[in-house]
Amino acid sequence: MKYLSDIGSYFLMLKKTFSRPTKTSVIRELIFKEIDELIINSLGIVAFISFFVGGVVAIQTALNINNPLIPKYLVGYATRQSVVLEFAPTFISIIMAGKMGAFITSSIGSMRVTEQIDALEVMGINPLNYLVFPKIVALLFYPFVIVISMFLGIVGGWVAAVYGNFTSSEAFITGLQEDFIPFHVLYAFIKTTLFAFILATVPSWQGFYMKGGALEVGKASTNSFVWTSVLIILTNYIVTSLLLS
């Protein structure tokens, strides 16, 4: 029963988020602030993780090719497929559920605890539009983060494969080009956009409707990570079944 009521409150929140809009000049400023906090501030960690995980994927693939009949370009091929199809869109999103999600839940939750949300409401401002809408718009830029992740994951794979003497640069690049299906990139962007919406709204919902004090803000942040991750995994499964099966 509680789950049904939670689902209901989530969708009601979405409806209220798009109603009674805040003044355009104010919302524009908030969108730029959110782009800075959510997108720009995430680039460092995304670049670091993508580069090294790309490298690890290439090394693991190379180490598991024992059969001389399997071509060495498979390292590049496997790295590309892993990074473009799953690592960049899905696993970076789960990492972002921790980073961005905790930030969103704790910042909105702290505003709830210190009555700042009540203050917005009393002033006649729609707090959901003021707080959540700019995050949704800012996360429309999230696919650019994933493009960077894809690029750096593949570069990391190339560096690890070539400088680790697992394969030649030519073979790796041949692997990258082998059997390339452009729809796979589109598929990655479709699911990234859905994950971006989940990343903006689920942590906001957890923070906005939390009750209690500082301890509950911590609990809400944990719940936010759990629910955002679960929804990302489920959405990934559904989208993959629909688009690739």
Interacting residue ranges for other proteins, rule: CB under 8 A? 19-20, 22-23, 25-26, 110-111, 114-116, 118-119, 121-126
Closer to other proteins at the Cβ: 124 or 182? 124
77-113 b/e (C-beta count within 10 Å ≥ 16 → b) = bbbbbbbbbebbbbbbbbbbbebbbbbbbbbbbebbb
Give least dist CB 23 to other proteins, A.
Answer: 6
Give least dist CB 36 to other proteins, A.
Answer: 12
Give least dist CB 172 to other proteins, A.
Answer: 46
| Tokens 């906001």 sit on residue | 204
Closer to other proteins at the Cβ: 30 or 150? 30
**Beta strand ranges found along 145-217 (DSSP E):** none
Give least dist CB 129 to other proteins, A.
Answer: 11
Closer to other proteins at the Cβ: 27 or 56? 27
* Closest to 99 (Cα-Cα) out of 237, 216, 224, 201: 224
Report how far residue 175's alpha carbon sits from residue 231's, in angstroms, rounded to the nearest whole number. Answer: 33
Closer to other proteins at the Cβ: 19 or 177? 19
